[in-house]
Amino acid sequence: MSHIVTTELACGMTLVVEPIPNVQSVALNWLLPVGAAADPPDGDGYAALLSELILRGAGGMTSREHSDALDRLGVQRNTDVYVHHLRLEATLLGDRLSDALPLLTSIVTAPALPADALDAVRSLCLQSLDSLDDDPQHLAMLRVRERHYPAPFNRHGYGQREVLANATIDQLREWWSRRARPKGSILGVAGAVDPHALAAQLDRLLASWSGQADEPTELAPPQRGYLHVEQPTAQVHIALAYDAPPERDEGGRVCNLD
């Protein structure tokens, strides 16, 4: 049976490791406090842009150099934006983890955030936003979220068109520097991994990384109510949302929300 090891690194980040016997691969999920809810009131879209931009070079390497180095190690990687976190995920063979970690940590601690990549990133984000019109089921759920939760926790992670179109590289660099901090970050690793060796290597790689990002706070009450979105399609999608118990109710009992 596997055993989960939780460690607080010297920099303040939480490391959660589950060694799994008899497997050769390893998976990483790095949650950073750069989620959509943390975007400034007039910057709903910074996280979406940054999720693409941080993969365009890091640690003094260009986008091509950094990408090629990860490819040579067989590292598959991706980023996603959630309400509270930006997620960097990667999968690779376990015996290549120690070689890949400097490249992966540099994405977080020393991203290039090149100005000449911003237009391409901006175009990708705008295309993703436009694609919502072609997925009415997903769009219905996003519109429900927007009305059910209080701002800024009702954001969907795709950003707002005006912000995506007008954000500058200086704004994005400053925001990443402010938000991508170890306290509030969680790194989960599972598979062919030694938790103690991993923690020791991360302590060395992240020795100069410090700080804590402020928690986002409620800015406005939820809209609630009814919304009808008309589209030129034969499909009809109905989405409902309602309040549920928190993870732990007042009586101290854990509620299963699955």
What pLDDT score was predicted for residue 245? Answer: 76
Query: In this predicted structure, what is the pLDDT of residue 257?
Result: 43
User: Structure pTM?
Assistant: 0.90
How much is the pLDDT for 252?
55
pLDDT, averaged per 10 consecutive residues of the chain (258 residues), comes to 89 97 96 97 96 97 98 97 97 98 98 98 97 89 91 94 98 97 97 97 97 92 89 87 76 50
pLDDT of 167 reads 98
Give the CATH class of 5-129+156-205: alpha beta
Contact 86, 186 (CB under 8 A): no
Ordered by start, the domain boundaries in the chain are 5-129+156-205
Q: What is the 3-state secondary structure (H, E, C) of 138-205?
A: HHHHHHHHHHHCCECCCCCCCCCHHHHHHCCHHHHHHHHHHHCCCECEEEEEEECCCHHHHHHHHHHH
